[in-house]
Amino acid sequence: MPAHLELTPAWQDIQNRLRSAVGESVYEVWLAGLLPRAWDGTLLLLEADPGAERWLAARYGRLLERCAQDVLGPAATVAFAGDPAARAHAALTAAHAGSALTAAEEFNPRHTFDQFVIGDGNRLAHAAALAVAEAPGQAYNPLFLHAPPGLGKTHLLNAIANYIRAYDPGTTVRYTTVEAFTNGFIAALKGEALDRFKRLYRDVDVLLIDDVQFLASKARTEEEFFHTFNAVHGAGRQLVLTCDRLPSQLTGIEQRLRERFESGLVAHLSAPDWATRMTILRKRAAVDRVEIEDESVYEVIAERITDNVRSLEGALIRIVAHHSLTGQPIDRHLATTVLDAIRPGAARSTPTGRQPAPAGIPVIQRAVAEHFGLSISDLTGPSRHGRVAWARQLAIYLVREHTDAPLQRIGQAFGGRNHATVLHACKRVSDRIAVNNDDAADLQELTATLRPQQ
C-alpha cells in the first residue's frame, strides 16, 4: 500500500480486526484508545497512554502487527510513539517525504470540549481554549496554558483541533510536541529538507505546541522555534502553547521567547477538587461504556488520587481491567485492592476528598506566613492590608483543601472569624487564581511546599 494512503479507513479496518480477536470488553479497556500517528509505507506508528505503551507492546504487539499486515500488507511493522527509535524514524520520513506524517496525523477523538470536565481549577483555561477554537487568531494569541503534568493541557490542545476540524474544516491545524519539533528539525537538517520542515509548521492557521519547557538548552532548535513563532504570529495566525511552569520560570530559555509567551493570555490549570474528580471518573466510565453500580468505587479512587487527572483515569482503567481478567465484581473491595497494589504508600483522605496534613492548621499557617514574610499573628489578626488579607485568604483556602477541619474550627484558628468569612476567603482565592497568574503561582508554590508533609 502506498505511503500516501488515507489512513483513517485502513485504521478502522485494523480496529475491527483487533476487536474480533480480543473481544469487546478487552478491546474497549486496552485497545480502543490507540491512535495512529504516522505511516510511511512500512512502519505504522501508534500512540497510547505513556504508562501503558510498554505493557501493550509486550502483551498485544504481535497481534497489532498481524492485524496491520492483514490490512496494510505483509511488510508492515508496528511501533509505539514512546520508542525513541520509532520517533526518529517518523521524523526522518516526514522530513524526506513531507507527506507520510501529515497524511496519517490524527488528533485524539476522545479529547473534546464535551469530554473536558470543568472545575474551579481549570475554568479560565477551558474558556480561553474554546474562545480560540471559535475564533482562531482573534481571541488570545498566543494562549499559554501551564500546569503540572496530567491536568488536561494536552486534552485542551486536542479539543481545539477537534472543534476546528468539526466546525471549520477549511482551517489548517497542526499539533506537535517540542520533542517532535526537535527531532523533525534535526532530521530536516541532515536530509537537506529544511524548507519543507519550515512550511510544515509555518503554513498553518493554528499551531498547537505541547511541552515548551523542553526547549531549554536546545540552542539551534530554540532559534528555529523563535522564527516559527514569529512567522505564525506575525501573519495573524493562532498559537497555543503548553508548559509545566510559568513563562517567567523558564530560566533555560531566552528572554525574547519568554516575553512572546507572556504577550497573550497565560492560563493556569490546578488539581481538580473532590467534585471534579468524581465527575471525571463518572464521565470516563461512560465514555468507555463501563457500568459501575457501586458509587464507592469512584470515592476510593478520588480519595487516593488527588493531583493528577491522568493517574485518576489510569486507576479506573486498572480496576476495570482487573475485573475483566479475574471476573471479580467492580466494588469498593476490588478498588481498594488494586490501588493498594499500585499506590501502597498513598494516604487515604477524608470523605470530602481533602487530605489532612499531619500537623494540620499550624503547618499551613507557618508555610503561608514564611512565604509572604509575615508572622502568624498577622494572619490571625484584624489587619485588612492587601498583602496580609491575601495571605490570610490563601491560608484559609489551603486549610480547607488540605485538612478535614470544619468551617467553625477554621474560623477560630484565624482570629475567631465566622464560617461566612471562611467561605468568602475560599471563593476569593478561586476567583483570583482564575484570572491572575501571580496569584495562581503563589497557590502552586505553597501547595508544592505542603505536599511532602501530606
Q: Given phi > 0 = left and psi -120 to 50 = alpha, else beta, which region is 236?
A: left
- Please tell me the predicted confidence (pLDDT) of residue 8: 62
**In this predicted structure, what is the pLDDT of residue 197?**
87
Cα atoms in the Cβ-side hemisphere of radius 13 Å centred on 85:
3
Per-residue pLDDT at 440: 78
- Collect the ranges in the chain with pLDDT lower than 50: 1-6, 95-105, 347-359, 452-454
Q: What is the pLDDT of residue 346?
A: 53
The pLDDT of residue 209 is 94
**Cβ atoms 321, 359 nearer than 8 A:** no
What is the per-residue pLDDT for 407?
Answer: 81
Per-residue pLDDT tens for 222-249? 999 999 999 999 999 999 999 988 998 8
pLDDT at 182: 87
From CA 204, how far away is CA 207, in angstroms rounded?
7
Q: Which CATH architecture has domain 123-268?
A: 3-Layer(aba) Sandwich (3.40)
- Identify the pLDDT of residue 103: 33
Compute φ and ψ for 420, nearest 5 degrees: -65, -40
In this predicted structure, what is the pLDDT of residue 90? Answer: 55
Three-class SS of residue 156?
helix
213, 204 Cβ separation under 8 angstroms: no
DSSP for 368-379? Answer: HHHHHT--HHHH
Tell me what pLDDT residue 21 has. 85
At 324-378, the pLDDT tens digits run 778 888 899 888 888 887 666 554 444 444 443 344 788 899 889 888 888 888 8
Coil, strand or helix at 137: coil
Instruction: Assess contact for 447 and 363: CB atoms under 8 A.
Output: no
The single-letter DSSP state of residue 194 is: H
Domain 361-453 bears CATH identifier 1.10.1750.10:
yes
Note the CATH number of domain 7-104: 3.30.300.180
